[in-house]
Every structure is written in structure tokens, then in C-alpha cells.
Structure 1
Amino acid sequence: MKRSILALLVLGALVIGTGCSTTQTKTNPEIMKIPEIQYETYQLDNGLKIYVVEDHAVPLVKFEIWYNVGAIDETERISGISHMLEHTMFLGTESLGKDKVHHLTKQVGGWANAGTYYDFTMFEEEVPSAKLELAMAIEADRMRNLKIDPEEFAREQQVVAQERRMRTENNFFVSSMEKIQSMAFTKHPLHHTIIGWMDSILGYTVKDIRDYYTQYYSPNNAVVAVSGDVKPEEVFALAQKYFGDYEPREITRLGIVEPEQTEERFIKIEKVTQVPLIGMMYKIPRGNDPDIVALNALNAILVNNATSRVNSVLKNEKHLIMQAGSFSFELRDPSYLFVYLIPMSVKSMDSVKEAFDAEVQRLIDEGVTEEELAAVKKAALKSKVFELKNKSGFASQLAINTVRFDDPELFKKSYQQLEALTGDDITAAARRYLVPQKRTVGYVVPKGK
């Protein structure tokens, strides 16, 4: 067991982590600081890692278990199976019936939830602190004793299929982005999204789900995060009691590397809509790459800000667009930055794309101003200050960084990179990653236009 007290500071969209040694972080006095947060960590002999963050403000405890498996671990045939397995985990075990997890947690005044992402699957319960053992027992049972009734499973497939229809196929933006993404990634599992293809969803067998569960749901492929009104010693003792005799398993990964893109790809997508959209997908490195810090700053200065260059010039000055935005996924595998522009009309789409490219080139040629650099640092740090005031959120970030990179001290690296970040770093990131030959562009237009 190790004890850690860290001053937490972090940049942009980068997921934070902390370490296992006491440190004092040097900060610019003008930069907002995050209060020191204390936590303890422990690892069972079978590889299960546990983080505990105490918060005795209210008599509640939040229990989370994060599995290092998600959509990027799926082949095309079983695309979306991580999400399907998340649903299946609520169908029952050898000792708990269907929906019993929700019933038990509600019975004691708590709740249960779950989520699937590209590179993790997470289950959580919040219960009164006196009921921590209930949450621990539930998740230990589900790790090893999943029961899959064929009829219940078939019904749940239809539930997931309907979820895809509602959230993807009937959503103008999401369905368009899915098409652009599938063109951008030709080999890597990012070719499909988290929900998976409809043919895959309807084609899963009980054996498929059982094999996937057996392969990835093991203690050495999981991280537990507990926060709230608890004592670390109690948490570690319960973890040993419920998970201690579980055997680790050998975890294999697909290991598929996306070939380097050397030519711009283009797709025209017709939708029942009155609003055209330009979507541009750029490849970026994995989430712990040093370039991520500069990319986040670049993203904010160029697009993802009300006063960004694209909004200032293309929207406010030239009146070419109604809206612009962007987001990225910082995963354990290289992924992407997605930029979207909503032109004033279909006829102006080429002009909008050219104007965007001109702003990228202007940033590369002229660099960023000192004011832009200072503002983006301040905004990024302020955002994280408020995000991490919640100790359960901090515990989650510890787990995420461990699951993705086995590096809960990633925070310290990103902070050091932030302190050292220069305008030249940002222009270098633009030159390296915002390359037309390495992007995929989608024009989404009203049908018949």
C-alpha cells in the first residue's frame, strides 16, 4: 500500500492521473491551483489495482470498476460487442437475477450505472457508506459468474439495435460522423463506432459474448476506484475478501496499426436535413503522447472557442459559417480530432473549406500570439480546477489513466509540458497533424442537392 499527496494541475482535454509519492509542484502564481488531494493505492496479487480517495463530507461511497476493454478491441464481425456485454452484465449471474443490481442498490438508497467507451468499460454504484460491501460483492460476482440466458440475450440484442436506430441512424450528426470515421480508418477498429454495426448487433451469439467476457473480464485487466466516506484499510480488506482468489488471465490485443494516410479522402453524404455540414477528421497520436498538450492548445485557439480564429474570421467577419466546433478522443491507441463547420449554404461549402485551410496556414506562417498562448493555458487549467474539485471525479481519473496507460502520474508530465509549452510547439503541431493529405473530409448535404 502506498500513500500519495499531490497538487493536481492538468491541461485541456488530457485525462489526468496522479502518482504514488509525495510531491510539491511548482506553479506560476498566476495559474489557478487545484487543492492537494490525498489518496491510497493497493494491488492484489492477481493484478487488481485499487485507488481510494477519502471524503467524509456525506455518508456515501462510490464504487467503480474499470475494465481495460472497449470498442478498439473488437473485430469488425463483433463490432459493438463491448457495449453489448455492458448490457448483458445486467441480465444476471448465477446468484443474482435480471436487474437485481439495480434493485439491490435502490433498496439501500443508492444507484447503479455503466458505460462503454472506445478503450474502457466501466460499472459503478453509489450507496450509503455502510453498504460498501454490497457494491463490492455485486461487482466481484459479475466479474466471474455472468449468466447468459439465450432468450434474455436475444431480447437485449433488440434493445441495443433500437438504441442504434435512435442514437445513430436517426441522428443527422452522429450518422454522418460515423460514415466519415469509417472512411478515415480502413484497418484499425476505429473503423466502427462504440455502438457497432447493425449486422454485428443482430449477429452476436451467446458464445461470442461468453468468449469476449472470459477474455477480458479478469482482475489483472481491471482497476477499482472508491471514493467517499470510507477508510482505505476497509476497502483493501474487502477487495481481498471478494476478489483475492480470482485468477489472472492472459490478455491479448488485436494490435492492428492503421496505415499512414497520404491522400485526402472525401465522401459526400446525403441526409434529410436543411443544414449542410463539413466534417474533417485528422489523425492524432495516443492520449499520453507529448504532442497532445500542443494539440489541445491548437484546437482551442483555432476552432473550439467562441473567440477562436475560425469563429472570428469565418463566422463573424466573412459570414461564411453559422457554427464551428471540434473534439478529440485521447485513447490508448492513436485516434482522431474531428472538426465540423456549418456553412451558410451548400453552394459555399468549397469556399468554407478553403477559408478554414487558409486559417490553418496563417497560424503556421504567423504563429500564435502571446495573448492567445496565455489565454489557452489559463482556460485549460481553470476548467480542470472545477472538474476535479469533486473527489469521486478525481478517483475516476486515477483509474482512467491507469487503465489506458498504466501511468497514474501522467498528470505531472502534462503539467510540465504545459509549463514549457510555446507558440512554436503549437505551430509545429498544426504543421504535423493538420495536413490535408492526412485527413478525411465529409460534405453532408440535403438530399438531392
Structure 2
Amino acid sequence: MKKINKNLFIIFTFILISFIIISAVQAENADSDLFIPEVDYKYYSLDNGLELFVFEDHKVPIVNFSIYYDVGSIDEKKGLTGISHLLEHLMFLGTDTLNKGQISEMIKDVGGSENASTAHWRTKYYETLPSSNLELAVAIEADRMRNLNISEKEFQREKEVVIQERRMYIENDAFSSAVEEINAAAFKNTPLEHGIIGWKEDLEQITLDDIYNYYENYYVPSNAVISISGDVTGEKAYQLVKKYFGDYESKKVKKAKFKFPEQKEEKVVKIRKVTRVPYIVMFYKLPSGDNPDMEAVDFLHNILINNSTSRIIEELKQKQNILLDANAYRTSLSVPNFSRIVLIPNSEINIEKVVQGFEKELQKIIENGVSEEEIKIMKKGMTKNLILAQKNISNFSDMIIGDYIKYGRPEFYREKIERINSVTEADIIDAAKKYFNKSSRTIGYIMPKK
């Protein structure tokens, strides 16, 4: 993790505190229905297919430059898993004009910060710096798009860094390594079978030629979207992007699609690890993240699991005292998705009781529904989150760009809010029936090694 300039940190901290105070007041007075926040942005495109979104915010003289490449772990072929994340690391090691470490030094020298991240669906590089230095970020990313220059020695060294990262966060972590096995069983022969960091054996055999082929195929203008938010005008941002990226050639990028194979019976995975407590991990298959049912799935997650007053917590943790904790989340991709539910029994002897208790509470919702009060509480919680989210233009723009890359709909956030407003008891029941079936579930038991 790279350190941020002290003055920049103080400014960000002040802004965040102000937003939290304002948001708390707004959320307290919010209506039960969610409002639709107005987000003003300007959209531009270059002849080579590069697209630009500009979110103007002139409160402070700071700007964020982010470039998103429409490629992530779900685009990796067998034998090349982890290559998206590995390439992300390598992008900091130099170009034809910039030496290793020089990018970070240049951004730091002007009081800024920079970093990158890889997800299932995209790879993102970003800089936050004084708005007077925006051109520096644009020039750096334009240089990296075309002129990556990595020696075999640096490649091998960085590959070992990533392998060590995998060892630290996956292989040496009982829960993470077990979830990796359960995940692989749940999504066998699909791009979701492997995690973002990839399989160790694939990382070991990836070559520098593989990296350059991947880079040249996906790191092109027509497969990238730039987001600039902060103290800049749309026209200035456009002219800078056109200046540095405008003469790059376009290239057509093919993206593979997939479907989950049909599953007719429950998959069960049992694993023993060095852990003090057992875990139960369930995977349920879901459709595309823009499917109209997904908001109802979110409500189901929250009512069933994700709150201190949720049914699983109240019944299994507080009343029966057989559960330590639980959580649920879903992915949001343009391809098929999943819901992952984790239950943590307080003892191995209570594993079956916890599973049965979960299934009983799920069945209660299917048979008896949920209360208006439960739905109201969930909507209020989502209201507070959305009010806070829209106050941070960089975070909100990140969501808008994500929806654009995944679904081609930058205004999708409006539809999501409208869907949340319209979720009914019947929608939640239907989602529970449709997607949370035992026959299409993969369940993993992570138990303490004896």
C-alpha cells in the first residue's frame, strides 16, 4: 500500500468528516422511499474507441484520474489464470521512457498518490493529485498503455512477488485456502473456477511472451474507459486525453461469454484445516448482475443474515447460542454471478444444527414472507449508504463507470434505486424460491484438523 502525501491526507480527512456529518443529518430526515441522486458528468469518445467520463467537482483543487481496462480474471484462459493481476504488478516496472519506480516518484513529488487493482471484470490504474498536475497523470497512463518495457529479470522477480502474495493470503490462510477449493468445486469449468490471483502452477509457467500478448490484446484504447473526477472542466480533460491518447490505433477485442452448467443436485465439499472454529460456506448461482431480481436478493441477504437484527443472527446466535457470526454477499458481473453465504458455528458438533437452522429460516420466508417493518428497515439502511456514496464523487463515479463497463449503462444506478424502492414481499419470496435451492447449491464444510 502506497503512502499518501500528508497535506493531501488532511484535506481528504476534513472532507470526509464534513460529508459524514451532513450525510447523517440527511439520512435521519430521509423519507422511507429512496431519492435518485443527480450526478452531473460529461461524456466524450475518441475516434480510436477510447471513452472518457468527466465528473466536475470544484470544492477543492484535487483531481482523480482513473483508467479502466475491460479485462479481469473472468477473461483468463486455462493455463493463464492470474495473468491480469500479474500484469497489473508489472505495469509499475517501467516503460520505454520511464524507469522502474519513476512513476511513483513523479506522482509523489507533486503531492499525489497512485495505485491499481484487479477485479473479476476489470483492471484499474489511478492517480489522485493536485488538479494543476492532471496532465502528468494523463501522460503517465498514455505511456503505460503503449510502451511497457519489462526485462526478463524484472519479470521473474515480480512473478515471485505475486507467488509469495498468493502464499501469504491464500495458501497460508486456512479459511481462504479452503474457500478457494469450495469455489473451484462450485464453478468447475467456468471462468469463476479460479480466484483473481490465479492458480500457483499457472503463475509459475506464465512467460514474458504471454504477458506481452495479453497486454497488446487488451490494453488498447477501444478496451479502455477513463474517468476524471474533481477540479477540472470537461473540455480541459477531453483536450488532455485527446492530446496523449488521440493518435493510438484502435483494435477490436473479443470477449468470451459463458453460462453455468446445469446443476441438479447439491455439491458437498468437506475440508479439514488448522482452525479453531468450523465454517460453513454456501454458494448459490445467480444470473447477470443487472437482472431485475438482484435487488430482492440483496433484501433477502439483509433480512436473513447481514444485520444485527437479521433472522439468522437473532435465532441461531442470540436464542440458540450455536452460531458465532454469519455474512452474505453477491457478485455483480455481466456474466453469471453467485451468492456466497458464510456461517460460523461455535462448535463442530453444532454444524448440522446451524445448517438446519439456516434452511428453516429460509423456508419461513418462503412460506410466511417478511414484514413491512423488515422491508422498511432495509430501505432506510440503503438510503443512508446511497446518501453517503453520492457525496464522494470519486467513489460514485467508480460505480457509474463499473455499470457502464459491465452493462453498457452509466445511468443504471437510477434504475437500481427505483428497483429498491419497488421491492415487495412477493419479490423477496420469489427470489428465495428461484435462486436458493438446495439442489443447485454447493456447500463446503471447513472443520478443525484433528
Residue 320 of structure 1 and its aligned partner are, at CA, apart by 1.6
Residue 394 of structure 1 and its aligned partner are, at CA, apart by 1.8
The correspondence of residues 254-333 of structure 1 with structure 2, limited to 5 A, is 254-333=256-335
Partner of residue 40 from structure 1, selected from 14, 35, 42:
42
Retained in 1: the 8 A contact 2:400–2:413?
no
Partner of residue 392 from structure 2, selected from 365, 371, 390:
390
Distance 1:374 1:226 in 2: 36
Distance 1:436 1:35 in 2: 39
Match of 1:57? 59
Retained in 1: the 8 A contact 2:32–2:376?
no
Partner of residue 179 from structure 1, selected from 178, 181, 190:
181
Residue 61 of structure 1 and its aligned partner are, at CA, apart by 0.8
Stretches of structure 1 lacking an aligned partner (at least 5 in a row): 1-27
Residue 205 of structure 1 and its aligned partner are, at CA, apart by 0.2
Residue 255 of structure 1 and its aligned partner are, at CA, apart by 2.2
Residue 76 of structure 1 and its aligned partner are, at CA, apart by 2.4
Deviations 1:422-441, CA, capped at 9 Å, x for gaps:
10000100000111111111
Whichever residue aligns with residue 383 of structure 2, its letter is: L
Distance 1:287 1:344 in 2: 33
Match of 2:7? none
Partner of residue 131 from structure 1, selected from 133, 141, 148:
133
Partner of residue 236 from structure 2, selected from 234, 237, 240:
234
Residue 383 of structure 1 and its aligned partner are, at CA, apart by 1.0
RMSD: 1.3
Partner of residue 346 from structure 1, selected from 328, 344, 348:
348
Distance 1:388 1:172 in 2: 37
Match of 2:90? 88
Stretches of structure 2 lacking an aligned partner (at least 5 in a row): 1-29
Whichever residue aligns with residue 329 of structure 2, its letter is: F
Q: Which has the higher helix share?
A: 2
Distance 1:220 1:164 in 2: 31
Match of 1:367? 369
C-alpha spacing 1:403/1:35, structure 2 compared with 1 (3 Å): closer
Residue 120 of structure 1 and its aligned partner are, at CA, apart by 0.6
Residue 34 of structure 1 and its aligned partner are, at CA, apart by 6.2
Distance 1:146 1:353 in 2: 51
249-258 or 149-158, which deviates more: 249-258
Secondary structure of the structure 2 residue equivalent to 1:64: strand
Match of 2:162? 160
Residue 64 of structure 1 and its aligned partner are, at CA, apart by 0.2
Whichever residue aligns with residue 318 of structure 1, its letter is: Q
Retained in 1: the 8 A contact 2:34–2:421?
no
Secondary structure of the structure 1 residue equivalent to 2:39: strand
Retained in 1: the 8 A contact 2:33–2:421?
no
Retained in 2: the 8 A contact 1:32–1:385?
no
Deviations 1:290-338, CA, capped at 9 Å, x for gaps:
1111111111001111111110111111112111111111112112111
Secondary structure of the structure 2 residue equivalent to 1:297: helix
Whichever residue aligns with residue 82 of structure 2, its letter is: G
151-160 or 280-289, which deviates more: 280-289
Residue 176 of structure 1 and its aligned partner are, at CA, apart by 1.6
Distance 1:155 1:229 in 2: 39
Q: Determine which structure has greater relative contact order: mean sequence separation of CA pairs < 8 Å that are 6+ residues apart, divided by chain length.
A: 1
Match of 2:359? 357
Distance 1:39 1:227 in 2: 9
Instruction: Work out the percentage of aligned pairs sharing the same amino acid.
Output: 44
Residue 195 of structure 1 and its aligned partner are, at CA, apart by 0.5
Distance 2:200 2:319 in 1: 43
Residue 362 of structure 1 and its aligned partner are, at CA, apart by 0.7
Secondary structure of the structure 2 residue equivalent to 1:238: helix
In the alignment, is residue 199 of structure 1 matched against residue 201 of structure 2? yes
Residue 381 of structure 1 and its aligned partner are, at CA, apart by 2.0
Residue 260 of structure 1 and its aligned partner are, at CA, apart by 1.9
The number of residue pairs the alignment matches comes to 421
Whichever residue aligns with residue 48 of structure 1, its letter is: L
Distance 1:196 1:292 in 2: 28
Match of 2:144? 142
* TM-score normalised per structure 1: 0.92
Residue 356 of structure 1 and its aligned partner are, at CA, apart by 0.7
Distance 1:68 1:361 in 2: 40
Retained in 1: the 8 A contact 2:328–2:339?
yes
Residue 419 of structure 1 and its aligned partner are, at CA, apart by 2.3
Match of 1:101? 103
Deviations 1:4-46, CA, capped at 9 Å, x for gaps:
xxxxxxxxxxxxxxxxxxxxxxxx9433546533211111111
C-alpha spacing 1:35/1:334, structure 2 compared with 1 (3 Å): closer
Distance 1:258 1:29 in 2: 40
Partner of residue 223 from structure 2, selected from 221, 224, 227:
221
Deviations 1:389-417, CA, capped at 9 Å, x for gaps:
11111221221111111110111221222
Whichever residue aligns with residue 170 of structure 2, its letter is: T
The correspondence of residues 405-420 of structure 1 with structure 2, limited to 5 A, is 405-420=407-422
* TM-score normalised per structure 2: 0.91
